Amino acid sequence: MLIPKIFGVTLALAVIGTSILIGVMGGRFQKVEQVVYSGEKRPWWFYFIMVLYAVFYTVVLVSFINHPDKTWAGWMLVVIIPVGAVLKGALIIFNKKGQKMVTSIEGDKDWRKIALARLVLAPLFLVLTYFA
């Protein structure tokens, strides 16, 4: 299951990279969140990243489905976590209360706390990748 393992490592690296970005930018990251979650017109790069992710995820999912030896970690990594992430994103994007909550986070300290809290996901993704 090489492709799902590549997916898991990619997720872990994405979490690490975005957490570093959030940590470095601090409160300035608020502008990115506002554009993505509450902007009336989302930027081209948002759609580009979403299309790339959708194509990559489709390849991963097809590879996982066609592989005869599926593990519980593979199911978590390839099915459960992505479905949860899509639900969370949809609840924030299509819910005015969720948008307001996310876009009201302010200050370097709060954003750095978020950056650190997100880092917990990277080792989780790597462990699931190892067992997938």
pTM as predicted: 0.84
Residue 57 pLDDT more than 90? yes
Helix 2-25 to helix 44-66 angle (10° resolution) is: 150
**Residue 106 in 3-state DSSP?**
coil
Domain ranges of the chain: 2-65+72-131
- The string of pLDDT tens digits covering residues 70-102 is 999 999 999 999 999 889 888 877 777 877 777
Alpha carbon dihedral 74, 77, 82, 85, in 10-degree steps, equals 150
Q: Is the dihedral of CA 2, 6, 82, 41 positive or negative?
A: negative
> Which tokens belong to 27?
């409160």
Residue 62, Cβ neighbours under 10 Å: how many?
A: 11
pLDDT at site 45: 86
- Residue 39's pLDDT is 63
